[in-house]
Amino acid sequence: MNTVSEQISELSTATYPPGLGEYQHEGVIKKFRDEWHVDENEALDIFSEMKKFLYISEIGQQQCVQIEIDEATQVIDRMWHQFVLFTQDYEIFCHRFFGKMVHHAPFSAEHLAQALNDSARKGMTLEEHKAICLEMQLNLIQSAMGIETVKKWYVNYANTYSPGKMNALQRAFSQENMDGLSPPLDPEAAAEMSPSELIESIIQQTSPSMNCRRGTCRTCRTCRSCRRGTCRTG
């Protein structure tokens, strides 16, 4: 019977897609930095590792190896979340480099139930099943990208972006002075307003906090007026 390493050793002939290493997305980097206390070089590095993860996930599908985000690679997952929000760009990216969408499927109760069924069918505990899956994942990462990527994700990133450090790195909702934000409408007052009065009041309450400051739109991070650092607010 082949060992796990032997099962992975015959890696597909797929190579790192041309242009994938050079691909960047300024918007994703900016949105990521809006939420996390990292400098630009650090964000670019995480984005680069995210691209590797997506590539390895695609190879994993070819090899019938499930590639999963775990505690050590949470920061890669957070960058992936930001990329997925740029739905059109993400779709174009996936089709350009992988020929199809690479879907993000968060862990759920159904995944746990499937893992329990798989482990029971193989006559092993869930812990044993997870250990084998992780071994296959690590061997695939090594085969596709080398042992240095394994070390970077499971040693360097595991320390630099541990759950405790991720909590410390996460920014508050707004990076700017909270004094510049308007309070929400009072529910009791709103209940007495006509539809037109309500709409007008919402506009008056919202407009001051939607002003783009210094061309960054960082007061309200859902503002869509900033593209490539240019505010379009009239």
In the predicted structure, residue 143 carries a pLDDT above the cut 70: yes
pLDDT of residue 215: 45
Partners of residue 230 on adjacent β-strands: 227
Same domain, yes or no, for 86 and 31? yes
Q: How many whole angstroms separate alpha carbon 207 and alpha carbon 1? A: 67
Q: How far apart are the first and last CA of the chain?
A: 69
Shared-domain flag, residues 222 and 208: yes
Q: What average pLDDT does the chain have? A: 82
Cα angle for residues 37, 226, 99 (degrees, 5° grid) = 80
Pair (85, 65) in one structural domain: yes
Q: Which of 36-50, 177-191, 214-228 has the lowest mean pLDDT?
A: 214-228
Same domain, 150 and 177: no
For residues 44 and 136, state if they share a domain: yes
DSSP for 101-134, please give it. --------HHHHHHHHHHHHHTT--HHHHHHHHH
Provide the total of helices (H) and of strands (E) in the chain, helices listed first: 12, 0
The larger pLDDT score, comparing residue 38 to residue 185, is at: 38
How does pLDDT run across 73-95, given as a tens digit for each residue?
A: 999 999 999 999 999 999 999 99
Same structural domain, 127 and 103 = yes
- Written as six digits, the tokens of 107 are 């862990």
Three-state secondary-structure class, residue 193: coil
Residues 56 and 146 in one domain: yes
The tally of domains found in the chain comes to 2
If we measure between CA atoms, which residue out of 113, 115, 89, 114 comes closest to residue 101? 89
Q: What pTM value is reported for the model?
A: 0.76
> Is there a single domain that holds both residue 100 and residue 179?
no
Q: How far apart are CA 144 and CA 118, in angstroms?
A: 26
DSSP 8-state class, residue 209: G
On the question of pLDDT at 65 being above 90, the answer is no
Q: Which among 154, 169, 184 is the end of a domain? A: 169
Long-range CB pairs of 154-159 (<8 Å, 24+ gap) are 154/72, 154/73, 157/49, 157/72, 157/73, 157/75, 157/76, 158/71, 158/72
Q: Which residue has the higher pLDDT, 53 or 122?
A: 53
158: containing domain: 4-169
Whether 96 and 148 share a structural domain: yes
Instruction: Report pLDDT for 86.
Output: 97
Considering the domain architecture, whether residues 108 and 205 belong to the same structural domain is answered as no
Q: Are 221 and 34 within 8 A, CB to CB?
A: yes
Task: Check whether residue 121 and residue 207 sit in a common domain.
Answer: no
Range in 44-48, 96-100, 193-197, 203-207 with the lowest mean pLDDT: 203-207
Residues 117, 159, single domain; the answer is yes
